[in-house]
Amino acid sequence: MVINNQLPITNYPLPIRMKILFLDQSGKPGGAELCLLDIVKPYRDRCLVGLFADGGFKDLLQQHEIPVQVLTGRSLQVSKDSGLLQGASSLGQLLPLITRVAKIAREYDIIYANTQKALVVGAIASLLSRRPLVYHLHDILSTEHFSRTNLRLAVTLANRASLVIANSQASQKAFLAAGGNPKLVRVVYNGFAPQLYRQENSVAQTRQELGLEGKFVVGHFSRLAPWKGQHVLLDALTQCPPEVTAIFVGDALFGEQDYKQQLHQQVAELGLEQRVQFLGFRSDVVSLMTACDLVAHTSIAAEPFGRVIVEAMLCGRPVVASQAGGAVELVETGKTGWLVPPGDAQKLAEIINTCRQQSEMASAIAHQAQISASQRFELNEINRQIERLLAGVGSRESGVGSREESDKEDKGEF
């Protein structure tokens, strides 16, 4: 079987009761975390999710009866743009966490690192515990997103893994360009349960609650961050009729409050106060998406995947996305949505106006996208792909550093 014309996935039988230690750095449910939630569910009776921060993601895991532990009470002060000095100074902070993860890992068969900081901790813990490492790559590994130091570290550690799962061909390409080992990487897209996006609530009721009756509503769903490009949509609104309004669902994270203030200032300077609503984080995303006439993805840098794009498709909403990164793999212009150059407010405005003027055409494209997305990203099939990949790791590692053998050899090491 070939996934996205990439390297084949071998149909290994799943090792009986294979236990997995999943690691994630975030306490908040971002795109990588929501992807992990769906991956973890089939293993809930034989896994542990170790988090490096407390928060809503832990609560979400517990709601789904998935074992979870917050493994450190300290915030890890390492960012994507950290240099060599800052990275070295953080090592002392990481050592207790690495030791704890290595000790826990002895009770499991695989360490599954879902984020960059989880990769750093998981890679070293893998060496100490003699457990194979799987790394799920949710980033574009390039100097556009990471400092050279962190980029080099990420690729070096990923190359020590038994398997790298890239969430798009764009992520895979960047990994290989940065020096990643092509023998390790497989592409598996995020999975979705289409039934969760079938809206039963009244669209009219949602629009009435937001005061959007009679408006053409463009929705933007992501955290407020410069590279997410909310400012591009604001500029595009100035080139659209007054009935075109925008709702922004999401808030600033990771020290991006300055950008949030810039957006509010931009709204005031452009005179858009009556045409823009910032709704913050919301739990009723499906209802809000379904109430939109168009969902806009406006990232000005390459997106590794683009969960919002697929979610909008599954909601039956027309989508316009930035023509870069993983979004290019999700949208076919004129058939399942539209692609526009990143940062091009004029082109974005043209698509908005076209969808407003040709609503039947936009609805037909949205319907085709809904069918396509339901088939391409169906969760059970995606999970089967990952299951086979993990089975392959388990099969290759069986008898070599297996849990039972290395426990006997290294008993009492930690």
Residues 152/339, Cβ–Cβ less than 8 Å: no
- For residue 192, what are the contacts with CB-CB under 8 A and spacing of at least 6? 38, 310, 311, 314, 373, 377, 378, 379
If residue 113 lies in a helix (H) or strand (E), which one and from where to where?
strand 110-113
What six digits make up the tokens of 407? Answer: 């426990």
Q: How many CB atoms lie within 10 A of CB 41?
A: 15
Q: Is 384 exposed, middle or buried (0-12, 13-18, 19+ CB in 10 A)?
A: middle
Beta strands in 120-259 (DSSP E): 133-137, 163-166, 185-187, 216-221, 244-249
Q: How far apart are CA 272 and CA 2, in angstroms?
A: 48
Q: How far apart are CA 390 and CA 192, in angstroms?
A: 19
Residue 396 pLDDT: 72
Residue 145 pLDDT: 81
Beta strands in 145-287 (DSSP E): 163-166, 185-187, 216-221, 244-249, 276-280
Residues 365/337, Cβ–Cβ less than 8 Å: yes
Question: Would you give per-residue pLDDT tens digits along the chain (414 residues)?
Answer: 233 334 444 444 444 478 999 999 999 898 999 999 999 999 999 999 999 999 999 999 999 999 999 998 766 655 555 543 454 456 667 899 999 999 999 999 999 999 999 999 999 999 999 999 999 999 999 988 888 999 999 999 999 999 999 999 999 999 999 999 999 999 999 999 999 998 766 899 999 999 999 999 999 999 999 999 999 999 999 999 999 999 999 999 767 899 999 999 999 999 999 999 999 999 899 999 999 999 999 999 999 999 999 999 999 999 999 999 999 999 999 999 999 999 999 999 999 999 999 999 999 999 999 999 999 999 999 999 999 999 999 777 654 344 544 444 444 333
| 281 secondary structure, DSSP code | S
Q: Is 153 exposed, middle or buried (0-12, 13-18, 19+ CB in 10 A)?
A: buried
Q: How far apart are CA 91 and CA 179, in angstroms?
A: 24
Q: How far apart are CA 337 and CA 9, in angstroms?
A: 30
Residues 164/135, Cβ–Cβ less than 8 Å: yes
Residue 52 pLDDT: 96
For residue 369, the one-letter residue type is A
The residues pairing with 295 across neighbouring beta strands, listed in sequence order, are 219, 319
Residue 78 pLDDT: 53
Residues 229/299, Cβ–Cβ less than 8 Å: yes
Domains of the chain: 20-191+378-409 (3.40.50.2000), 194-376 (3.40.50.2000)
What six digits make up the tokens of 163? Answer: 């398997």
